[in-house]
Amino acid sequence: MKSIWALAAVTLIALVALATAQDKTGDGVKSFYEMKTSYLDGKPADLGAFKGKVVLVVNVASKCGFTPQYEGLEKLQKDMAGKPFSVLGFPSNDFGGQEPGTPEEIATFCERTYHVTFPMFSKVVTKATPEQSPIYKFLGASGNLPQWNFSKYVVDKQGHIVAFFPSKIKPDAPELQAAIEKALQQ
């Protein structure tokens, strides 16, 4: 009889853990694709438009030592054309004040310097503060928040975070490419 109760207790704990894992943000969001935000130009953006795709979410900055990664991100976007994939850029001024520009300045810099064609969204706060973006609250529930600009999250077709890479991992790094490919196959 004790083993039945022990099994029931373990099952209950597992079910509670599963329910908690499905809503780590505490505000009902279970998928990246359930959220809404705005594009860099201020127009509303429903991240549900990317459901069914694998996305690489990156906190970007124009005046950072990692800024040249824009080139690799754009190359990745072009190389993956025709596949259900997109890079998504979220400017952030959290680290060293390295994204001080207005939305217009950021857009002009990205277009002229790196010919960015992937979607860019409004500037966000990535750090766990009262001003933190709901996007990064959701992403941070994975246990990883950016420690600097150009941190990367691989989000699968259902909107779940499947991998995180810090700033130093470049867009062409084999481990990042492998994580994207694995997510595409699922």
Q: What is the mean pLDDT of residues 106-124?
A: 98
Residue 28 pLDDT: 81
Look at the pTM and tell me if it is higher than 0.75: yes
Domain ranges (residues) in the chain: 1-26, 31-185
7 pLDDT higher than 80: no
CB 86 within 8 A of CB 53: yes
Name the token pair of 107.
């857009």
Distance CA 155, CA 47 (A): 12
Name the token pair of 54.
């694998």
58 pLDDT higher than 70: yes
Residues known to be catalytic: 64
**Which CATH code fits 31-185?**
3.40.30.10
